[in-house]
Amino acid sequence: MNNKNIQLNKEGRLRHFLDIEGIKRQLLVEILDAAESFSSVEAQRVKKVPLLRGKTIVNLFFEPSTRTRNTFELAAKRLSADTLNVNISASATSKGESLLDMLHNLEAMHCDMFVVRHAQSGAAHFIAQHVAPHISVINAGDGSHAHPTQAMLDMFTIRRHKQAFADLKVAIVGDILHSRVARSQIHALTTLGVTEVRVIGPKTLIPDISTALGVHVYHDMWEGLREVDVVIMLRLQKERMTGALLPSEHEYYKLYGLTPEKLAVAKEDAIVMHPGPINRGVEISSEVADGPQSVILEQVSNGIAVRMAVMSILMGQSFSSDGEAGP
């Protein structure tokens, strides 16, 4: 994780997409603009473009995921790439094969891109450092470190509803400590010029470095939501919690669950987002999740267009990075 520039090639173009941190605004905007174009593919009768025909994209999911893996797979298929889903628990790693041996085997099968989800922070960086030079790596979530495509689809969703980022007040609510999503969102929001990012949650779930990232910390949700334009709810990650960080789900809902009453202190046209899967009655009430201000399902659709954009930009770069004219 030391070498952030591993994401960029000599010309400063994206080669891998591992973390929002260290990527300039112009490149993020380029992803958002390309995603806008890819969203028009949905309107076609044949919902597919031939851009990545003949390329093979491998989904390497070392941690369970439904939505992220499905939308990555759909994005690859709508670009006409071939996809391979490696079921890690059933694969050779359980027979004692090392991760690097597995990667080299996939390279020998002429794969072109790895989409990596791993419980360990830095896993995607590690893989990007060790793959053959023509292969691009996308981080689909590593531990509590980063989830850059999720952050970009959130930015895309915000831009579609709010246009200019500069004047927005955005609140991220919940388990900031364990959230790779929150970390990537904060970097993306700040890079895109949002001046007021707030994080709201109990002291035990907000990391000490929050203020260093330039965000405003609130422990009272009523106060934190006042006049915000965007409310981003996070899932309570019970599987990542060790020790007594929380009183009880019931207590948490009372303090930090998003209810219509709490939402009412935000701006009237505020949108409500959630990366999913949602825990109804734990961090968000059904009334809000299914309500008119919720854009949660839009986020899912947008995820496909954004992932198509990232995949195309990376694959387009991998051909030209060494001045080579394609394979």
Partner 1 sequence: MQNTDVEQPLADMATALQHHLSEHQIKSPIMIGIHTGGAWVAKRLHQMMGIEEPLGTLDISFYRDDFTRIGMHPEVKPSKINTTVEDRHVILVDDVLHTGRTIRAALNEIFDYGRPASVILAVLVERSGRELPIEANVVGINMPLADGQHVKLEGPEQLHLVVQEDA
Q: Residue 41 or residue 241: which is nearer to partner 1 going by CB?
A: 41
Binding residue (CB under 8 A) for partner 1 from 3, 44, 98, 105:
44
CB of 320 to partner 1, least distance (A): 5
Q: Are strands 113-118 and 169-173 parallel, antiparallel or unpaired?
A: unpaired
Interface with partner 1 by CB under 8 A: which range of 36-44, 89-97, 191-199, 260-268?
A: 36-44
CB of 38 to partner 1, least distance (A): 8
CB of 54 to partner 1, least distance (A): 9
Q: Residue 144 or residue 318: which is nearer to partner 1 going by CB?
A: 318
Q: Is 74 in the site for partner 1 (CB under 8 A)?
A: no
Helices (H), the chain: 25-38, 67-78, 99-108, 123-130, 148-162, 180-191, 221-224, 249-256, 260-263, 286-289, 296-320
Q: Residue 14 or residue 58: which is nearer to partner 1 going by CB?
A: 14
Binding residue (CB under 8 A) for partner 1 from 2, 46, 94, 133:
46
Total residues binding partner 1 (CB under 8 A): 27
Q: Is 156 in the site for partner 1 (CB under 8 A)?
A: no
Which tokens is 225 given? 């939501």
Q: Is 28 in the site for partner 1 (CB under 8 A)?
A: no
**Dihedral, CA of residue 201, residue 204, residue 209 and residue 210, to nearest 10:** 0
Write phi, then psi, for 8 (nearest 5 degrees). -110, 150
CB 311 within 8 A of CB 138: yes
Binding residue (CB under 8 A) for partner 1 from 18, 19, 39, 148:
39
Question: Which residues inside 113-142 make contact with partner 1, applying CB under 8 A?
Answer: none
- Name residues whose C-beta falls within 8 Å of residue 324's C-beta, 6 or more positions apart in sequence: none
Exposed/middle/buried for residue 243 (C-beta within 10 Å: 0-12, 13-18, 19+): exposed
CB of 326 to partner 1, least distance (A): 4
Q: Is 10 in the site for partner 1 (CB under 8 A)?
A: no
Nearest to 176 by CA among 221, 208, 212: 208
Q: Is 316 in the site for partner 1 (CB under 8 A)?
A: yes
Q: Is 82 in the site for partner 1 (CB under 8 A)?
A: no
CB of 86 to partner 1, least distance (A): 25
Helices (H), 13-98: 25-38, 67-78
CA dist 188 → 23, 193, 266 (Å): 9, 9, 22
Question: Which residues inside 229-248 make contact with partner 1, applying CB under 8 A?
Answer: none
Q: Is 24 in the site for partner 1 (CB under 8 A)?
A: no
Cis bond leading into 64, ω under 30°? no
Binding residue (CB under 8 A) for partner 1 from 4, 5, 12, 37:
37
Q: Is 95 in the site for partner 1 (CB under 8 A)?
A: no
Q: Is 43 in the site for partner 1 (CB under 8 A)?
A: yes
Q: Is 166 in the site for partner 1 (CB under 8 A)?
A: no
Which tokens is 275 given? 């990366």
Exposed/middle/buried for residue 2 (C-beta within 10 Å: 0-12, 13-18, 19+): exposed
Q: Provide the 3-class DSSP secondary structure of residue 155.
A: helix
Q: Return residues touching partner 1 (CB under 8 A).
A: 30, 33-34, 36-41, 43-46, 48-51, 312-313, 315-317, 319-320, 325-327
